[in-house]
Amino acid sequence: MYKVTKDELLLDSLVEHTRKKKNDCKNLLKYKSVQVNGEVQTYHAFELHPGDEVEVGKKTNLPFELLYEDDDMIVINKPSGLVSEETRNNKYQTAFYMVMEYCRKKRQQCYLVHRLDQDTSGVLMFVKNKKLYQELTHNWNKYVKTRGYVAILEGQCRKSGTIKNHLVEDKQLKMRIAKEGQLAITHYKPLEVSKDYTMMEVFLDTGRKNQIRVHMASLNHPIIGDKKYGARTNPLKRLGLHAHEFAFTHPFTHKTMTFKAPLPSSFTQMFKPSKR
């Protein structure tokens, strides 16, 4: 929320304060994601005056942050603990079901094009038409440009590098490094290092199951909260993995679209100097 300090039009104000492109701000208005003085406003030339309060991204009837929406897609910031899609025992408490219901009320379709592990938070994209869904899923690696994550690791890891090996799933449903597995490539560099933990930025060239978790554990610095792959600590009571950036080239407009989910405050709080 911000308070208006001058006479201006709503669209111009949104561009200035959100630092989003004009078309993105038009979509915020179109999909009723902007309120002025507590009321939803969709008119881009609505006149603002000093003292008016503008709130962006509220009242979507979704229990999580809506990062972006247009006629083709919807992008959310999935919270940790929420399953991406339905399972045998869980149909309704899933990100897909919640977004599907949100779209259904507007007579729109909904398709899930990629997934995040239940305990991973961050950028998750859905599309609204079958043609786009089929094109993306059949040619995923052709269109996806960036898959960026931030992981909180146990211990101090000050080196950057690339891990390239092969991963296979064993009978216990645990991924392990093995020559007969599928190629997995991960790039990593440290962002912050404290006495006990490292904030690591990670980019994927491939998207194997549990890839980041296995690769960080192979450095002897498992992700916090990841008991499955050797973590001994769980200071945040969740897996320390967040999908913070996703970029792809739209198959039909040929524009590169980039989405970012802000880091959980609990992640950044771990690296703030302690007050004495």
What is the rounded distance in angstroms from the CA atom of residue 255 to the CA atom of residue 249? Answer: 5
Nearest Cα to Cα of residue 200 among 237, 163, 241: 241
- Cβ contact 30:42 at 8 Å: yes
What is the rounded distance in angstroms from the CA atom of residue 166 to the CA atom of residue 177? Answer: 6
- Cβ contact 9:46 at 8 Å: yes
Strands 65-69 and 53-56: unpaired
What is the rounded distance in angstroms from the CA atom of residue 108 to the CA atom of residue 49? Answer: 35
Catalytic residue among 117, 119, 196, 205: 117
Active site residue 117: yes
What is the rounded distance in angstroms from the CA atom of residue 263 to the CA atom of residue 266? Answer: 8
List active site positions.
117
